[in-house]
Amino acid sequence: MLKKLLTLLVATLLATATWAAVDVNTATEAELDGIKGIGPGLSGRILQERQSAPFKDWADFIGRVGGVGNKSAVNFSKEGLTVNGKKYSAAAAAKAEAKSGKKHSSSQAADRKARGSADKEAATATTPATPPATATATATATAAPAAPAPATGASKN
């Protein structure tokens, strides 16, 4: 009798575990909200990204949904979230890390390029044009000497 009861209990738990799996590509907003750690804001971002294309794997999911990293993916997977029926794995973590590393380095290069252009524009905009020699001589002779700027205690940095 005890064996039958234990078998029934194990079968019920296994059936519940399979029903608890929520696939990110087919889940409704309510199902996503049911995963511990996913709230209305994150589920909205997931659904918005999913409209453009279904998620291929965990690395794609992590790369496209802002606010989801390897640590949160582990937690979501423990709570029953899957991507194409697969739980999160170490291989997915390595792939996501490599993907985010490429994205990070390309954005750094773009930032450096933008800063370089801005620096060049600022240098040309702040460089005053050289006035004619006669105007400089007249301005120097009639202008009062400039007072030195007061020293301030605060640093600009």
Terminal Cα distance for the chain, rounded: 78
Please report the DSSP string for 119-136 in residue order: HHHHHHHHSPPPPPHHHH
- One-letter amino acid at 128 equals P
- Residue-level pLDDT at 90: 73
Segments of the chain with pLDDT less than 70: 1-2, 4-20, 92, 96, 100-157
- Specify the residue for token string 């120097």: 140
